[in-house]
Amino acid sequence: MEILDKISLPQEVKRLEISDLDALAKDIREIITQRTMSNGGHLASNLGVVDLTVALSYVFDFPKDKLIFDVGHQCYAYKILTGRLKEFESLRKKGGLNGFPKREESPYDTVNSGHASTALSIACGMARGGEDGEIICLIGDGAMTGGLFYEALNDVLTLDKKVIIIINDNNMSISDNVGFVNEYLNIVRKYGNEIPFLGIETLTNINGHNVSDLIGKLRYAKNSKKTIILHVVTQKGKGIECAEKAPSKFHSVSAIKDNLPSYSRIFGEKLTQLANYNEDIFAITAAMIDGTGLGEFSKSHPSRLIDVGIAEGHAVTMAAGIALSGKKPYVAIYSTFLQRAYDHILHDVCLDDLPVTFCIDRAGFVGGDGETHQGLYDVAYLGSLPNMTVCMPKDGEELRQLLDWSVDYGHPLSVRYPKCSDCGGYETHTPIKYGRWENLKYTNADNVIISYGDVLRNAYEAAEDLKSFDINCDVVNARFINPIDGEFLKNCRGKNIFVLEECVQSGSLYSKVLSYISEHEIGAKVYGRNVENVPYSVAERNELIESVGLDKMSIIKFIEKKCGK
C-alpha cells in the first residue's frame, strides 16, 4: 500500500504521476476485497469502477464538483479516496461507514442513494438549483433499465447548465442485463460513435481500465460547454479472478456463513417445485434473479422466468397482465424496492382484484445496508390497499405452506420474509386457514403475546422465561397480518395483549388490534412494541432488533413492567 498510504483526499491524487495511478488502483482493489470479504458488502460492482474513480479524482475538484452515484453501491473506492481509508475497516458495521453514499458521513457525498435510476433526476435539480461546480452522474449496474432515468434524460436537454453523464457499461445489472437497453449497448459497443444518442454528444467505447485514456476523455468532458455522455466499458469484478468469472455471485457477499438455508433459497426452491407441476406459474423479478433465490427457477423454467431489469413498476403491471390472461404470477422483489411500485400495486393489481402474489424478500431490518434498504414499511402501505392480504411465515416450513396455499388463492397476496437464515425448530405447523392465527403456546393465560415472522421466536422464548417470574403468557403466530383474526381477539376479553412486530407503528398489526378491541368493546388491554419511524443506519440485524427492544431480554422486561412485576 505504498502509494495509497500517501493519499487521504482527492486533491492528493492529482499530485501523483499518471504512471503511478495503476498502482494506486491496485492498492484500492486489495483494500476493497479484504474488507468486503470480512464485513460483507458489494464487491464486484466496486472493483469494476476503481480505475474510473481514480481518474475522476485526478480530473475533477471534489467536493466543489458533485459526483452523483447511480446506484450507490459503486462508491467504495470514492470513500477510500475521500478521507475514509482508516475508517474503511468499519464498513457496514454499527457506527461505521455506510455501504452507500451518505451526506451525514462526509461533505464529499453528494446525496444519500441506495436505489437505482435516481442520479440524473438529482442532477437536473442541482443544475437548476445553481450549483457552481461540475455535475457528474456515474450510472451503472443496470440503472438505465429504470424508467426514471429516461424521464430525466427527456429533461436534461432543457437545462442551461451542462451535466456529465458517465455510463458504466459492464454488461451487467445485479444479474445479467436484459432487454432493449442491453441490446442497444451491445450495438454501441460494436459500432461506437456511429450510433447517435438523442442528439447528445457521446464518446463511446472508452476503456474503463485504461486510466490514462480515461483522464483524457474526462478532461474533454470537463472542458465541454454542453451536456455530454461518456460510454465507459468496464469489467465487473475487475482484478479479482473469482469476481470476474462470477460477477453476479460476487455482486454482494455476506460476511456470515452458516449451513442453514436462507428464506430466499427456500422460496426459490419451493416455487420451482410448484412450477414443475403447474404450467401457469410465472416468476417475475427486477434485476434480482439470484438475490431473490430464483436461480434454480430460471434454469428449470426459463420461459416462465421474467427479469425486467430495474423496473419494479413495470414488473408489477406486467404481472397484472399475466394474471388477466389466466396465469399465476409471483413477483419477487425486496421490500425496499417494492416501494417504488406502490401505485402500480394499487391501480393495476388491487383495484382489479387480480391473483398476483408478491414475494417480499428482505422484510424488516436489513443489517449492513443501512437506511435505504430497511424493509420496515410494507406492512403499513400494503395493509392499506383494498383486496390485499399480507402474510408472514414464522419459519421456512411455514413459508412452504403459504406458497402451497397461495396457488389456489384468487386475489392479491403478499408473503413477506426476512434476510436471514431459517432457524426452524417449531413443533407446531397447523394448516393455513385464511385470516386465522395459530396458537403456538396456549393455556388460556391472562397474558397473550401476538407476533409474527422472525420476532416471534424471541417472543416465544421470552414467554418460556417469564414463567420464572410467575407470568404466564400464551403465544400466537399472527401469520395473517391483514386481515387480522377477529375471532381470536373476541376471546381475549379481560386479558393483557402484547403485540410485537418488526415494522413501523403506523398501519401496524398493533394499531389494527387496538382499533378492533376498541371498536368491538372487548375490554382487553393492548400494549405494542414495534419500530419508531426514523432512519436506521448500518448495524447487524440482531443489533437493530435489540436497539428497538424486540430481542428476548427486552421483551421480558417490557412484559414484566406492564404486568407490574
Neighbours of 18 (CB within 10 A): 11
SS3 for 358? strand
Report the chain's mean pLDDT, rounded to a whole number.
91
- Average pLDDT in the 403-427 region? 93
Global pTM reads 0.91
Q: Is 496 strand, coil or helix?
A: strand
What pLDDT, on the 0 to 100 scale, is given for residue 377? 97
Which pLDDT band, with edges at 50, 70 and 90, does 477 fall under? very high
Q: Where are the domains of the chain?
A: 4-245, 263-416, 438-562
pLDDT of 346 reads 98
C-alpha cell at 33: 476485497
Q: With 60 as the cut, is the pLDDT of residue 506 above it?
A: yes
Confidence (pLDDT) at 416: 98
pLDDT for the residue numbered 142: 77
Element (H, E) at 245: helix 241-245
Active-site annotation holds for 296? no
Which superfamily, per CATH, for 263-416? Thiamin diphosphate (ThDP)-binding fold, Pyr/PP domains (3.40.50.970)
Torsion of CA 146, 148, 150, 155, to 10 degrees: -170
Superfamily of domain 4-245 in CATH is: Thiamin diphosphate (ThDP)-binding fold, Pyr/PP domains (3.40.50.970)
Q: What pairs with residue 471 in β-bridges? A: none
**Mean pLDDT value across residues 518-524:** 95
CA distance linking residue 457 with residue 485, whole number of Å: 20
For residue 466, the model assigns a pLDDT of 96
Q: Which of 102, 270, 340, 479 is catalytic?
A: 340
The question of whether 464 is a catalytic residue gets the answer no
Structure confidence at residue 181 as a pLDDT band (50, 70, 90): low
Question: For residue 358, what pLDDT is reported?
Answer: 98
Annotated catalytic residue within 134, 312, 501, 502: 312
3-class DSSP state for residue 526? strand
pLDDT given for residue 236 in this prediction: 85
Q: Which band of pLDDT confidence, cut at 50, 70 and 90, is reported for residue 3?
A: confident
CATH tag for 438-562 (out of 3.40.50.920, 3.40.640.10, 2.30.38.10, 1.10.10.10): 3.40.50.920
Cell for 25? Answer: 488502483
CA distance 78 to 140: 15
pLDDT band at 422 (very low <50, low <70, confident <90, very high): confident
Looking at residue 518, what is its pLDDT? 95
d(CA 117, CA 121): 8
Residue 508 in this model has a pLDDT that exceeds 90? yes
User: pLDDT tens across 326-359, in order?
Assistant: 999 999 999 999 999 999 999 999 999 999 999 9
Q: Are residues 333 and 360 in contact, defined by beta-carbon separation less than 8 angstroms?
A: yes
Q: What is the mean pLDDT of residues 516-520?
A: 96
Q: What is the pLDDT of residues 70-83, one digit of tens each?
A: 988 899 999 999 99
**Catalytic option among 102, 236, 394, 541:** 236
| The predicted structure's pLDDT at residue 38 | 87
419 catalytic residue (yes or no): no
CB atoms within 10 A of CB 335: 27
List CB contacts of 496: < 8 A, sequence separation 6 or more. Answer: 446, 447, 448, 524, 525, 527, 562, 563
